[in-house]
Amino acid sequence: MKEIKLTIQINKPVSDVFVFTLDPKNTPLYVNSILEEETNEWPVKLGTIYRNRKDNSEWSEYGVIEFKENETFTLQKKDGSLLVRYAFKPIRNNKTEFEYYVKSNTEFDEYFIKGIVEKLKTVIEE
């Protein structure tokens, strides 16, 4: 399994960052390979299913396997090949320490993952 964990400071309160990343319509704004994302229910909770369509037109499904409001949520691909964890920690002056963790049984480009985190910071701070 290949793993990567990146941490970045975002100049927004934890609740804003949490809600933004949880909302499936925002994912294509910071993950270039995803054209569309949806959930089977709203609000999101433990067990919610996310579906996303990538640029190759294939749909993938992920289940929410961990959920703590304004702290963390974890998505796991239905076949178990990919796990993505979002973690949030408040820091002074309404800033958020955001951690993006990816664990995959396939190779991935670390620069691609870094680009996701940097783009998320840019998009949410605008």
Express each pLDDT in 63-92 by its tens digit.
999 999 999 999 999 999 999 999 999 998
CATH number of residue 96's parent domain: 3.30.530.20
pLDDT band for 109, please (50, 70, 90 cuts). Answer: confident
pTM tops 0.75, yes or no: yes
Express each pLDDT in 2-48 by its tens digit.
999 999 999 999 999 999 999 999 999 999 989 999 999 999 999 99
- Better-predicted residue by pLDDT, 79 or 109: 79
Token output for 20: 């933004």
Alpha helices in the chain (DSSP H): 14-22, 27-30, 110-125
Q: What is the structure's pLDDT at 101?
A: 96
Token output for 16: 């804003």
Instruction: Return the number of other C-beta atoms located less than 10 Å from residue 43's C-beta.
Output: 9
Instruction: Give the range of the structural domain holding residue 118, as residue numbers without chain letter.
Output: 2-125
Asked if pLDDT for residue 104 goes beyond 80, the answer is yes
pLDDT band for 59, please (50, 70, 90 cuts). Answer: very high
Domain count, the chain: 1
Nearest to 90 by CA among 72, 117, 114, 75: 72
Asked if pLDDT for residue 56 goes beyond 80, the answer is no
Q: What is the structure's pLDDT at 26?
A: 98
Q: Spell out the SS3 assignment of 54-65.
A: ECCCCEEEEEEE
Asked if pLDDT for residue 110 goes beyond 90, the answer is no
